[in-house]
Amino acid sequence: MEIRADVDGLKALGRALKKDADGKALRRDLIRELKKPLVPAVAEIKAGLMSMGAGGLRPGGEALRTAVARRIRPEVKLSGFRAGVRVKARKVPAARGFANAPKRLNSSKGWRHPVFGHRDRWVVQFGRPDYFDAPLRDRRDDFRQAVTEAMEATARRITDNAERG
């Protein structure tokens, strides 16, 4: 079995796992191994987010940084159009009505909002640009190597199972 560390190679491996008798266990192990190198990056992303300055009033709900940090997770997909390994920050609609908080906090442009709800006074607020992108960009080669190793190990296990069975 030929293994390439790209989307097509990952999809081919996912199809091979479906055909293998021990496919569910192999798939679970592969996903675990693919997520493993993302864990330190996710921790660094969350630490960068939580180190941002916080100000203003908190109207009884969850703090914005905490709400965003809870929704940052590693994701592995082995099939479909978006097959791959990524870190995803889901939208946070319940936190102060600020659904695009993960995106805006990472943006160098910031975002506009009215001061304490006064529609005649607007202000531009900035998060910490690259809190999300920098930890991932710095580890890109490590991720690629870990994905290749995990895919090769799984392919070896599939061929070993095929030879035994």
Structure tokens at 76: 């592995």
**What is the rounded average pLDDT of the residues 36-61?**
83
**Residues contacting residue 41 through CB under 8 Å, at least 6 positions apart:** 87, 135, 136, 139, 143
pLDDT tens figures, 112-161: 888 877 889 998 888 888 889 999 998 989 988 988 898 888 888 877 77
φ/ψ of residue 109, rounded to 5: -80, -25
Among residues 87, 86, 142, 96, which one has the least CA distance to residue 116?
96
pTM: 0.79
Among residues 160, 156, 136, which one has the least CA distance to residue 148?
156
Tell me the percentage of the chain whose pLDDT exceeds 90: 20
DSSP 79: S
Output the CA–CA distances (angstroms, integers) from residue 29 to 21, 131, 154, in the order listed: 14, 30, 8
**Rounded to an integer, what is the distance from CA 57 to the centroid of its chain?**
29
Q: pLDDT category, 71, cuts 50, 70, 90?
A: very high
Cα(158)–Cα(41) distance, integer angstroms: 30
Among residues 121, 126, 160, 117, which one has the least CA distance to residue 21?
160
More confident residue, 3 or 81: 81
For residue 87, what pLDDT is reported? 92
